[in-house]
Chain A
Amino acid sequence: DQQVKQNSPSLSVQEGRISILNCDYTNSMFDYFLWYKKYPAEGPTFLISISSIKDKNEDGRFTVFLNKSAKHLSLHIVPSQPGDSAVYFCAADGGATNKLIFGTGTLLAVQP
């Protein structure tokens, strides 16, 4: 049973527009969430994280929003660039265990 779900396998966005990637989780014990970006034939690269004591974290063009009551987080990329085209994974940590639970990923394609 998937504890972390990314229900959109793929997303296509025009360059310059906003990309919104969504992630849902079922375990209310999760208290730290991360987004990773993965290019083909490379390892995942850490992008941004958020702890459960916050509802927003921003780093340049990337912002992550956390809605604990809905058990939902989203990654916003503004403006989107062709180099952002990659698979994005969200991951959750259940309380200082460092055993990350990953979603299945969303393939983002940013069209020039």
Chain B
Amino acid sequence: IAGITQAPTSQILAAGRRMTLRCTQDMRHNAMYWYRQDLGLGLRLIHYSNTAGTTGKGEVPDGYSVSRANTDDFPLTLASAVPSQTSVYFCASSELGGSWQDTQYFGPGTRLTVL
């Protein structure tokens, strides 16, 4: 069982380009999340999805979009990348979504550099 996979592992991107970060889970979890990790700021929630077909905004959603067409996949798109989006991006999933004591499990991350 792979758990959560993310692709690519790392990417260098020119500003203004479009980029999609991929996330796939094989645990049949209802909920999925995208976080970014920046030095001195911890992990901050970008977008989430409590179940296939629904999405919601997190703490820092501007400049990002997501879709949840099925249970397993939750891609994150940067429509026009800017240098401030340079970060490490983590995808996570949890079994229930929107429920108390529902632990989130994380993927290995994508390191994105926008020049």
Contact = CB atoms under 8 A, between A and B. Distances in A.
Contacts of B40: 104
B100 A102 contact: no
* Chain B CB within 10 A, most for which of A42, A44, A51, A105: A44
Given A89-B43, A102-B42, A102-B43, A96 B108 contact: no
A98 B42 contact: no
Interface string A76-99: 000000000000010101011111
A67 interface: no
Contacts of B107: 43
A8 interface: no
A99 B44 contact: no
How many A residues are at the interface, by size bracket?
Answer: 20 to 34
B42 A105 contact: yes
Interface of B: 4, 31, 33, 35, 40-45, 48, 50, 58-59, 90, 92, 94, 96-109
A103 B100 CA distance: 20
Nearest to B98: A98
Nearest to B58: A99
Contacts of A43: 4, 90, 92, 106-109
B43 A98 contact: no
A72 to B, nearest CB: 17
Contacts of A102: 35, 42-44
B102 A98 contact: yes
Contact of A98 (B41, B59, B94): B94
A99 B45 contact: yes
6 closest pairs, A vs B, by CB?
A: A43-B106, A102-B42, A102-B43, A104-B42, A96-B100, A44-B106
